[in-house]
Amino acid sequence: MKFLDAKTDIAFKKLFGDQKGTERTISFLNNILELQEGELITSVKIENTENLPLSKGKKKSFIDVRCTDQADKKYLVEMQRVDEHDFLERAGFYSSLSIHSQLKKNEPYTSIAPVIFVGVLDFDLFTFDHYLSHHFFMDAKTKERTLRHSEFHFIELNKFKKSLDICEKDLDKWIYLIKNSDDLKTIPPQLKNIQEIREALETLNEATWSEKERLEYLAELDVERGKKSTEEWGRKQVAIAKEEGEKRGKLEVAKALLADGLSLAKVAQLTGLSIEMLTPLLK
């Protein structure tokens, strides 16, 4: 799967973060949220999509699009490339932050609009097999939804195994597009009947990108290469440390990797050291 590589920042924003292409965003959200007639999103206002700075040691591992519908509901849509051990906690934090930021001085709590978090993930988050999951607050006995200001929806792309021939629902076709967009040189017949998906494929054509977007892509690609180089160096150093049997050597390697911007989870995976052993190195 190639969509979640260096192209992600530009392609994701072009697909779902452009006010000129809100019909794509509407179609995507209506399908992912599995909304029925009478509750469909009919229009969205795209908000500021700028996020964390793109720089060495502070590389974005996720890209987000924020929008508001006609009912004033807030949507946080993220594409997450890196398997972070605290992703669920971060999703909850940003969702809560979006709720908190709505309340102005002297306004009642009743003015707060619901916040819907949608995460498109390039890794397995849960142990179950289904690739799309919906999470709500509800009463444990009656299963009635009681707290309606937060909900979470996750798409785990690695679990999506369908071929295009058996993608009957528009939902499956959207996920197929996201997962296989780089391999689609022409529009397959199975996707031609959905206007928003046809437009999405045309948008992903690099030939239509502006010079600024191409430069952003090259900058992101350079960061990706640097990260892979750092990881490879780390693996070699860990191998040396293992041969020498020196825990101190592993800790020195871990310290260097953390300083270069790798996450605790990735450094723990590379070195074999626990999160608890690595945490003091961040101080």
- pTM of the predicted protein model: 0.68
Task: Categorize the per-residue pLDDT at 128 as very low, low, confident or very high, splitting at 50, 70 and 90.
Answer: very high
Q: Closest Cα partner for 175 from 185, 163, 187?
A: 163
User: Each residue of 63-95: pLDDT tens digit?
Assistant: 678 888 888 888 888 888 777 678 888 889 989
Q: Match 């006995």 to its residue by tokens.
A: 141
User: Each residue of 210-232: pLDDT tens digit?
Assistant: 777 777 767 766 776 777 788 88
Whether the per-residue pLDDT at 51 is higher than 50: the answer is no
User: E-assigned strands of the chain?
Assistant: 44-46, 62-69, 74-80, 115-121, 132-136, 150-156
Q: In Å, how far are 74, 101, 111, 112, 114 from 107, measured between CA atoms? A: 18, 12, 7, 9, 16
Task: Categorize the per-residue pLDDT at 132 as very low, low, confident or very high, splitting at 50, 70 and 90.
Answer: very high
The rounded distance, in Å, linking the Cα atoms of 283 and 279 is: 8
Does residue 31 contact residue 154 with C-beta atoms inside 8 Å?
Answer: no
**Token reading at 210:** 């502006």
Does residue 156 contact residue 175 with C-beta atoms inside 8 Å?
Answer: no
